Amino acid sequence: MRLCTSENKEDQQRFIHGFQMFEKIRNNVSASNVRKHFPTVMGAGAFTKLFYKDLNDDFGSHIHCVHFLNRPRPYYIYEKIGPTLDEIIRGSYLGFLDISTARHFTIGIIRALRTLHSLEFVHRCVTSFTFSLRIYPSGFIGDGDLSNFIVCNDLSFSTIYRSTKKPHFIEKCFYGTLKYSSPNAMKFYQQIPADDIISAIYIFVELCHGRLAWRGEKDKNEIIRKKEEFFLHPTIMVDNTDPEYRIPIDIRDLTLIFKMLKESNPYLGQLNYVYIFEILHRIAEANKQPNCAETYLDYTKLNDIENEFNKAMIKVQSGGAQPSQPDTTLTTTTIVKQPVEQITEGGRGKILLFEYL
């Protein structure tokens, strides 16, 4: 279940918009092999009040404090997916993944983005924590291409981009992150599909290297300068002195992708996604190291996440160890009022928003 953590009206509207985008994909995309890149939503509603238990009380006690909300807190329930790509990177033994696995993860991200772009929407917040690796309840990861198990877990910042014929107009706000957003997005230009793909390429570099060239940089202009320099000279700096575990990877062919994205016009047709896949495959095959493990991905550690969670829940339900955070009992009220259409500023399309009484 995903619960909106804010009572701010704009935050709640953005949260509900993310839910509506998942519903839009479910209703408009018929192919199951395409829909699997997005979670299945099973229900939605809103909480009018929250009940919190005190950690000092007995777990079975009914003593609790009630927090009445100024605005109903929206939520929606979706299938359990698995760890985010950010969690996988942080949990990896070497701090990065092999280039073959990074290639499959990135292709999975771009496949999900291609579906979103086909509906004339852009994501605007492509990061390593808005995409997850699907793991089945038993902890099993299916055989085959890992790109088939990449799932987009958040569409809150997505918006339509073809509602105007004027490309690259100036936005009022910056949506995204300094780490992953494209230079044009950071300059407040309207985001288009090419900006989403650039963010996915940044994730690819981080997956196979463990860091980006602008990591730790705080100045926005300096980050933009380094990203624009990366477009011209996409190389990986080797910062590990152990040659056994850190081998330089030649990713200069990424300039071909950046050139194609720069020359593309999103208002005349879709991007050449197959060409992007071919370049990523070429880079991965050219940099395969002989006599090395097929993948650095630790499947055992991913399964341990599920096992530890199940053990913790058994202890809590049996009245043993206390949960690490207060147990929360929630009473719900279902949203029964139909969504109304609201025109976004600048006439850039319609977003369905819920009104609360």
Number of C-beta neighbours around residue 58 at 10 A: 11
Q: Provide φ and ψ at 286, rounded to 5°.
A: -70, -20
> What percent of the chain clears pLDDT 90, i.e. is strictly above it?
40
pLDDT score recorded for residue 344: 40
Domain 85-299 has CATH 1.10.510.10: yes
| DSSP sequence for 32-80 | HHHHTTSPPEEEEEEEEEEEEE-TTS-TT---EEEEEEEEEEEEEEE--
The rounded Cα 324 to chain-centroid distance in angstroms is 26
User: Which run of H or of E encompasses 352?
Assistant: strand 350-353
CB 67 within 8 A of CB 49: yes
3-class secondary structure, 131: strand
3-class secondary structure, 135: coil
Q: Which of 35-44, 118-127, 294-303 has the lowest mean pLDDT?
A: 294-303
pLDDT band for position 341 (cuts 50, 70, 90) = very low
Encode pLDDT of 249-284 as tens digits: 788 899 999 999 999 888 787 899 999 999 999 998
Question: Which of 5, 74, 84, 73 has the alpha carbon at shortest distance from 39?
Answer: 84
Virtual torsion, Cα 249, 252, 256, 257, nearest 10 deg: 40
Number of C-beta neighbours around residue 91 at 10 A: 14
Encode pLDDT of 148-164 as tens digits: 999 999 999 999 987 65
CB 85 within 8 A of CB 139: no
CA distance 293 to 272: 32
Residue boundaries of the structural domains of the chain: 2-30+41-78+327-353, 85-299
Encode pLDDT of 89-146 as tens digits: 888 877 888 888 999 999 999 999 999 999 999 999 999 999 999 887 665 565 557 8
CA distance 117 to 138: 33
pLDDT band for position 345 (cuts 50, 70, 90) = very low
Q: Provide φ and ψ at 53, rounded to 5°.
A: -100, 150
CB 78 within 8 A of CB 42: yes
CA distance 259 to 242: 34
For residues 24-29, give the mean pLDDT. 93
pLDDT score recorded for residue 280: 94
